[in-house]
Structure 1
């Protein structure tokens, strides 16, 4: 088995991104009303992503991973603590962030190009917007499919369009909520490499929610694992693991294999069980 962390570098485009922003969760908690009781989802989450960092968030289903992303975007309000972007508290929907979800959520009656246009900041002159869209379509490999409706392209292409739409606002923070979870295995690997290409071209800060340990290790600088102390206890950070080596990494490296065992252990999974392979 190879010990190298390196693999051939993906193609890159010129760096046209504005400044990447830090994202800090300060003792964040989140609770939801549930009948006469209150359901506590998150408690005392305290972690910060550095500008330009790719931070992956792992944890079992229902532990509040997506809730963290929604708090960063200003789509949800924390019950305790706060979120800071570039040192400024998040209050309401934050224009410094862009979000891409597991499903592309493209408008079926618009072309791929016009779906990407929806992400542009308001007030941008038409010719400048067209130039931005051209660059993004080229970056995600959709120039030849720009005029197609979503139903005429594959799931991977639709997800590429979703990423391009998120990047159209030139965000300081890119929030990705299981963006490749609905794709087949091969397309998922291709999309992971595309994300590295995008990050090299526009090195924004990325918060990536995923259930895939291998995906987290391939893409992230650090991996945050959320866990609970009991079935009904709120989730908090159980560990933060730094992934060594520069991206792109060799998926077959022994170093990543060792880290995979550690992460699975934090998730309560026996790495040597057949189901974990």
Structure 2
């Protein structure tokens, strides 16, 4: 069932209050205000992003699509405070993002687990500094159960599958109860069946802890399954910098029917907008 009312999905920027998630976490609004990013200086400067205006409502899931190199991951890193825009601002709850902003958590394509630590200990690394020991242990156990790893908690990364490692990474990201969860192609390295299972898991996790989610993906089907809205980044004419070329609401409440005719038609339109022959995929 959708976490947002239809009116809120149509006008996410109008939502200024946080949504309280299960366990006391707050989903927070995220906003990109005229964000641009260039690398280098002077005549060698290379513009990657230009005039990105985008608002995510508390609890909303938004997917970023676009060709490789168009700045999707750069935009996500800006939301995490891991990169600084050249122009414009990124705000969480109407406050500028700080370096390594604690209101965010990030999960990457690679799980990036410490190989000498157990899965339990890797999840615990995501807890906020100063968390009381008993409270932290309870939170870690709760997350391990949420992602289905309670029975494997004392194994090390080399002893589990890629899907289990990615579930551990997701649990670690959720350990601090982030207001905004940033996912950079988190399932891109997994096989097709495991990727589908991870998509279902993310939906289940979001129902239990409905944080605001910004997801970078190259997979149109994944975006259609997970997102309330899809943002397509693209370049216009000779401009090397990408901007928002499409903002597409996804119909239907999650979980969605993967065989839906309506979604199939939207999939074809999105693929064509990305320069892909929809009839071959």
TM-score normalized with structure 2 length:
0.91
Q: For residues 162-203 of structure 1, what are the alpha-carbon distances to aligned partners after superposition, in whole Å with 9 as ceiling and x for unaligned?
A: 000000000000000000000000000000000000000000
* Residue matched to 2:205: 198
Give yes or no for the alignment of 1:222 onto 2:229: yes
Match of 1:118 among 117, 120, 125: 125
Q: For residues 221-264 of structure 1, what are the alpha-carbon distances to aligned partners after superposition, in whole Å with 9 as ceiling and x for unaligned?
A: 00000001246610001000000111000000001101101111
Q: For residues 50-86 of structure 1, what are the alpha-carbon distances to aligned partners after superposition, in whole Å with 9 as ceiling and x for unaligned?
A: 1000000000000000001100000000001110101
67-76 or 32-41, which deviates more: 32-41
Match of 1:33 among 34, 40, 62: 40
Give yes or no for the alignment of 1:165 onto 2:172: yes
Match of 1:84 among 91, 104, 109: 91
1:1-277 equivalences in 2 (<5 Å): 15-33=22-40, 37-230=44-237, 233-272=240-279, 274=280, 277=281
Alpha-carbon separation, structure 2, partners of 1:230 and 1:77 = 26
1:98 aligned counterpart, secondary structure: strand
Alpha-carbon separation, structure 2, partners of 1:139 and 1:246 = 22
Uncovered stretches (5+) of structure 1, i.e. residues with no partner: 1-13
Tell whether the 8 Å contact from 1:117 to 1:168 is kept in structure 2 after alignment: yes
| Alignment size in residue pairs | 261
1:113 aligned counterpart, secondary structure: helix
Alpha-carbon separation, structure 2, partners of 1:270 and 1:35 = 39
Pairwise CA distance, 1:15: 2.0
Alpha-carbon separation, structure 1, partners of 2:201 and 2:261 = 24
* Residue matched to 2:13: none
Q: For residues 189-219 of structure 1, what are the alpha-carbon distances to aligned partners after superposition, in whole Å with 9 as ceiling and x for unaligned?
A: 0000000000000000000000000000000
Alpha-carbon separation, structure 1, partners of 2:249 and 2:138 = 37
Alpha-carbon separation, structure 2, partners of 1:184 and 1:167 = 23
- C-alpha distance 216-48 of structure 1, shift in aligned 2 (>3 A): same
TM-score normalized with structure 1 length:
0.92
CA RMSD between the two structures: 1.3
1:16 aligned counterpart, secondary structure: helix
Alpha-carbon separation, structure 2, partners of 1:81 and 1:17 = 32
The structure with more helix, counted as a fraction of residues? 2
User: Which of structures 1 and 2 has the larger relative contact order (alpha carbons within 8 angstroms, sep 6+)?
Assistant: 1
Alpha-carbon separation, structure 1, partners of 2:57 and 2:118 = 36
Pairwise CA distance, 1:91: 2.7
Alpha-carbon separation, structure 2, partners of 1:19 and 1:112 = 26
Uncovered stretches (5+) of structure 2, i.e. residues with no partner: 1-20
- C-alpha distance 152-245 of structure 1, shift in aligned 2 (>3 A): same
